[in-house]
Amino acid sequence: MKSLWLGVICLLSLLPLLAESGAATLNDDVLGLIAFKAGIEDPRSKLASWNENDNDPCNWNGIKCDPKSNRVAVVALDGFALSGKLGRGLLRLQFLDTLSLSVNNFSGSLTPALLRLESLRTLDLSANNLSGTIPDGFFGQCRSIRDISLAKNSISGKIPSDVGACSTLASLNLSSNQLSGSLPGEIWSLNALRSLDLSHNSLVGEIPVGISRMFNLRMINLRGNRLTGQLPNDTGECLLLKSLDVGENQLSGDLPESMRNLSTCTYLSLSSNSLSGEVPAWIGDMNSLETLDLSRNRFSGGVPSSLSNLQFLKLLKLSDNSFSGGVPDSLAACRSLDLSQNNLTGSIPETLANLTNLRVVDFSRNRISGTLPKQLSDLPHLLSFNISHNQLSGGLPAGSFFNNIPPSSLTDNPGLCGSTVNRSCPGVLPKPIVLDPNSSPDPSSNPVLSPRNLSHKKIIFSISALIAIVAAAVIALGVITITVLNFRAHASASNSAVELALSDEYLSHSPVTDANSGKLVMFAGGDPEFSAGAHAVLNKDCELGRGGFGAVYKTVLRDGRSVAIKKLTVSSLVKSQEDFEEEVKRLGKVQHPNLVALEGYYWTPSLQLLIYEFVPGGSLYNHLHECSASNTLSWQERFDIILGIARSLAHLHQHKIIHYNLKSSNVLLDGSGEPKVGDCGLAKLLPMLDRYVLSSKIQSALGYMAPEFACQTVKITDKCDVYGFGVLVLEIMTGKRPVEYMEDDVVLLSDMVRETLDEGKVEECMDERLCGKFPLEETIPVMKLGLICTSQVPSNRPEMAEVVNILELIRFPQDSPEEDDFC
């Protein structure tokens, strides 16, 4: 008993020491993070919640703790606009699993000590201003780390040979830096690696043999370096490889036959090298390919027919080679098809019309002859069809696309005819009527068919044919006339309904009337009291513009206030009245300073009108592309417009509304230059539109449309709006349209900006009408934000609420007055 009490007394005496020791351990995380904070700049006070008096940091902004140990497990400060150097305070976080500091302004060099943290699994320092070399021993400190990203910095020097020491590494991204020297063979020792991205550096020399040891590797990207020699013979022994990109290097020689084993590979780009020889027939064995880019090489011979085995192929680029022979007959599901700048001959096969997914076709600068198959008019999703600089002849296929095809897509085909090329086609004459001499006895034995009477008969037959033709023309004209009269009668009936609905007599009554006169509702209540009747809605002189869903007219209320009325032209696709009204009322409740307010609606089964506030300043499209240099928007105005659009979209998404149709012509500017986004959520009124019909309906939004519109297996979400917003940001900054049709190419604005930015030529991207009057500390991050928003993968795009936060973070205090001088 005495010994038991002595034990209890001993334990009680140790409790204060244990408590003191536990507090010290617990406070290590607080002390480490406070020390880290003390060495950096926080211009947006994102770390204001970091208080050194707290017992633990688990509720601090950007911090997550392990629920069991209550120790810091995650430090995620991405996009906080923090600057300064990475201090040693982070080394106190002994239980840290994830350190993510991307999209900030951290500078200085790397320290190997970061990888000494035993619990660290993920390190992301991408998109900062880190410089210097990767120190020797950096990778040698690896413990259990899984993911390292140092992309988009200014790190130089060689990749250390100790990179092979990170045996647990699953993802390594060193892209978009200034790394030089050769690719160390030790990198193929990382047999747990699944993703390797070393693109856009200055690596030289040959790709070392040994990739076959990477039995877990799914993706390798070496694009944009200075690598030479042949592709290693064991390239195809990396059997799980899904994506291989070695474009924009100086590789040469043939394709190694082992590549035929890459049966799970979906993306293969070998573009912009000096690869030569014939494309082997076994390319058809890579039957999972969705993208195949062999452009800008020295390949020769015919286009292999085995390409027809690639049933999942969506994009094929063989341009700028020396291919000869004919155009392949079948390319399965191909869509964005490029065979330009080769020596292809023969005609365009009719079977091309079977590729119903085709969107972009480029056969320019070949020696293709013959006529264009008329079946091409059946291609439902065609956006671009470039056949310039060939030897084609005859007329163009009928249909809306070929009626409006840009003339630059047809140049240098002397035999083509039609209004688009300003060259009339020769008339088509009817075949002459000919009697069969074997169908009756000798003419001399029949007085009716004697030579004299036969001549007379031919004249009669000719006159009869002319009479028949004239009669047919009269009948056709009568049918057309009756159809037009019926159409006008129907339009008149619709107009009468509108006149009744908007007449002064009607407006003095309740907004709900019987089915014959329709239903007019103004959300603000009371009677609308239009000063003009339906003629203002239907009068061409009052038309403000037309879009994919209908025409817009201006009219005036009796109190002098102007409104805009959209007359929907897709009545057969509109929901039932109940569903239509429910959706319109929902849109009417979504109010925001940067949204065009929906003030009311009019309904009949055959006619629907939407009544909006009138915005007097014109569209953003007009200000960007149709105004003179003396009236151009300043950088300050452009930034305000970008921020206003972002806020409006964030507000829509908060209310679970997808815009679907974002473009510069749908952004209006009010009298003070404040942006207002219009046409919000109209696609929801049209449930019968699938994504393909929708994409054709809003075809004027070409260039703003997210790539998932082309894939039925990918869900359409608000990330589509984020993509369109990103394109709109680049359009506002550059003053260029989202898509430019060059003489022999189609250039996407996002691709052009990305390439120019990678070359460090930011000033060349900006609208020249700004005359260089823009702060780089704002324009560069805004441009990068626009590119991030146009990511091909929806999950890589930020939420619009995050975009607003980033833009507000980028905005610096204006120390200098706004410049009013222009070029």
Q: Give the relative orientation of helices 635-654 and 719-734 as an angle to the nearest 10 degrees.
A: 170
d(CA 598, CA 613): 7
Give the distance from CA 283 to its chain's centroid: 29
d(CA 307, CA 304): 6
- Classify burial at 752, counting beta carbons within 10 Å of its beta carbon; exposed 0-12, middle 13-18, buried 19 or more: middle
Output phi, psi for 412, to 5 deg.
60, 45
Cβ 686 vs Cβ 575: under 8 Å? yes
Q: Which residues pair with 132 in a beta bridge?
A: 155
Can you read off the two tokens belonging to residue 110?
Answer: 């790397």
Which helix (H) or strand (E) segment holds residue 672: the answer is: none
Cβ 749 vs Cβ 736: under 8 Å? yes
In the three-class reduction of DSSP (H, G, I as helix; E, B as strand; rest coil), residue 395 is classed as strand
Q: Of 215, 217, 208, whose CA–CA distance to 170 is shortest?
A: 217
Can you read off the two tokens belonging to residue 742?
Answer: 């060059």
d(CA 727, CA 790): 7
Cβ 292 vs Cβ 268: under 8 Å? yes
d(CA 705, CA 724): 6
What is the number of alpha carbons within 13 Å of residue 754 lying toward its C-beta? 18
Q: Where are the alpha helices (DSSP H) in 397-524?
A: 400-403, 451-502, 504-507
- Classify burial at 11, counting beta carbons within 10 Å of its beta carbon; exposed 0-12, middle 13-18, buried 19 or more: exposed
Handedness of CA 445, 450, 454, 456 (dihedral sign): negative
Cα distances (Å, whole numbers) of residue 546 to 190, 378, 422, 739: 58, 25, 27, 20
Pairing relationship of beta strands 598-604 and 519-522 according to DSSP bridges: antiparallel
Nearest 5°: CA angle at 626, between 623 and 629? Answer: 75
Q: Give the relative orientation of helices 776-789 and 749-758 as an angle to the nearest 10 degrees.
A: 130
Cβ 776 vs Cβ 762: under 8 Å? yes
Can you read off the two tokens belonging to residue 199?
Answer: 């693109």
d(CA 263, CA 259): 9
Answer yes or no: is 567 a known binding residue: yes
What value does the CA radius of gyration of the chain take, rounded to a whole number of Å? 34
Contacts for 492-498: CB closer than 8 Å, 24+ residues apart: 494/604, 494/606, 494/607, 495/534, 495/538, 497/604, 497/606, 497/607, 498/534, 498/537, 498/538, 498/602, 498/607, 498/609
Identify the residue whose tokens are 């979400």. 717
Q: Which residues pair with 610 in a beta bridge?
A: 566, 601
Nearest 5°: CA angle at 80, between 76 and 85? Answer: 85
Can you read off the two tokens belonging to residue 684?
Answer: 């929801």
d(CA 237, CA 211): 8
d(CA 317, CA 279): 13
Q: Of 237, 263, 249, 169, whose CA–CA distance to 205 is shortest?
A: 249
Can you read off the two tokens belonging to residue 779?
Answer: 């324009």
Output phi, psi for 475, to 5 deg.
-60, -45
Can you read off the two tokens belonging to residue 6?
Answer: 């002595």
Binding residue numbers: 567
Binding residue numbers for ATP: 567
